[in-house]
């Protein structure tokens, strides 16, 4: 039976450290402020944003929400981002994705000042991740790396398989594993013989967005299985991309959903916001 990788536990240690750093900054007269933009009425986005705001409050980061209507235009959204880019009080800017259809996500990401891009989505920051020289960590992949470190899970020389090639998770995840000397394979919807590849994984990261996609026959005995999925099953219950009940009988370590990767994504966001505040105030990290 697999050991559970407890994202709540690991994220709490990151959050404690963030709270301490925020307190030290406040004592120097520096406040830490995150602007959170949400457009429209996507219920999942609303939940994510509420969780992010709550985590900010708990660690002393000031979060300011900008809730815009569904029919917001590009001109309106870009004007808000421009205002926040130029506002000295705002250290970080987060625009929750996905955006309504009329809005161009690439343009929105490009408009956020790279120094305030606490999601690390801007091309400048993704470029930094590519060359292994960065200040902002991609939130979900970096959160996963933090969990692996906490549980002393070796990456060097291991076969690491990432299912999913999104700009937010799959691609940066592969880069971070590669930097730690993992042998990395990225699989996606066009991959042939997927199970053959995943069965070779010592570390398997599932970022597919499909409930129970990874079944026990796709997993090697003793593998470390990381589930990035946040899906609803037929009964409307929150579940991951991994068939947890069956896969946990084979894996050595596994992340649950909820309580695995999700809390770590938020913890990294908090870390990045503190980094942004320090950089903007000329304070060493
Ligand atoms: N949508 C899903 N995940 C994320 C995330 O980490 N950041 C933002 N801004 N939007 C998201």
Q: According to the 3-state scheme, what is the secondary structure of 69-102?
A: CCCCCHHHHHHHHHHHHCCCCCCEEEECCCCCCC
Rounded to two decimals, the pTM is 0.96
Mean pLDDT of 275-279: 98
197 lines ligand 1 (CB under 6 A): no
How confident is residue 98, by pLDDT bands cut at 50, 70 and 90?
very high
Mean pLDDT of 212-231: 98
The one catalytic residue among 52, 116, 271, 278: 52
Give the mutation target among 37, 48, 142 for probing the ligand 1 site: most ligand atoms within 8 A of CB. 48
Separation of alpha carbons 239 and 82, rounded Å? 37
97 lines ligand 1 (CB under 6 A): yes
Mean pLDDT of 200-221: 98
User: How much of the chain exceeds pLDDT 70, in percent?
Assistant: 100
How confident is residue 285, by pLDDT bands cut at 50, 70 and 90?
confident
Q: Is 52 a catalytic residue?
A: yes
Residue located nearest, by CA, to atom 3 of ligand 1:
97
pLDDT(134) > 90? no
pLDDT(222) > 90? yes
Cα dihedral value 49, 51, 53, 57, nearest 10 = 180
For residue 55, the tally of other CB atoms under 10 A from its CB is: 20
How confident is residue 48, by pLDDT bands cut at 50, 70 and 90?
very high
Mean pLDDT of 202-229: 98
């Amino acid at each position: 039976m697999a050991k559970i990788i407890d994202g709540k536990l690991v994220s709490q240690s990151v959050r404690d450290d963030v709270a301490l750093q925020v307190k030290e900054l406040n004592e120097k007269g520096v406040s830490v402020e995150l602007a959170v933009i949400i457009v429209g009425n996507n219920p999942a986005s609303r939940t994510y944003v509420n969780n992010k705001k709550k985590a900010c409050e708990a660690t002393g980061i000031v979060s300011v929400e900008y809730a815009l209507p569904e029919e917001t235009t590009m001109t309106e959204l870009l004007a808000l981002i421009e205002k926040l880019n130029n506002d000295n009080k705002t250290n970080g800017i987060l625009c929750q994705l996905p955006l309504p259809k009329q809005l161009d996500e690439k343009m929105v990401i490009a408009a956020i000042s790279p120094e305030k891009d606490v999601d690390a989505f801007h091309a400048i920051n993704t470029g930094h991740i590519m060359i292994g020289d960065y200040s902002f960590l991609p939130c979900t992949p970096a959160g996963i790396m933090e969990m692996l470190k906490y549980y002393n899970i070796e990456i060097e020389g291991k076969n690491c398989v990432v299912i999913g090639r999104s700009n937010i998770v799959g691609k940066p995840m592969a880069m971070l594993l590669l930097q730690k000397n993992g042998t990395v394979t990225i699989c996606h919807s066009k991959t042939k013989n997927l199970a053959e590849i995943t069965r070779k994984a010592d570390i398997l990261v599932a970022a597919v967005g499909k409930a129970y996609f990874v079944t026990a026959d796709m997993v090697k005995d003793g593998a470390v299985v990381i589930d990035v999925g946040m899906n609803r099953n037929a009964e409307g219950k929150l579940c991951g991309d991994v068939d947890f009940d069956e896969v946990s009988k084979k894996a050595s370590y596994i992340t649950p959903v909820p309580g695995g990767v999700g809390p770590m994504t938020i913890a990294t966001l908090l870390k990045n916001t503190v980094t942004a505040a320090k950089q903007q105030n000329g304070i060493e990290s």
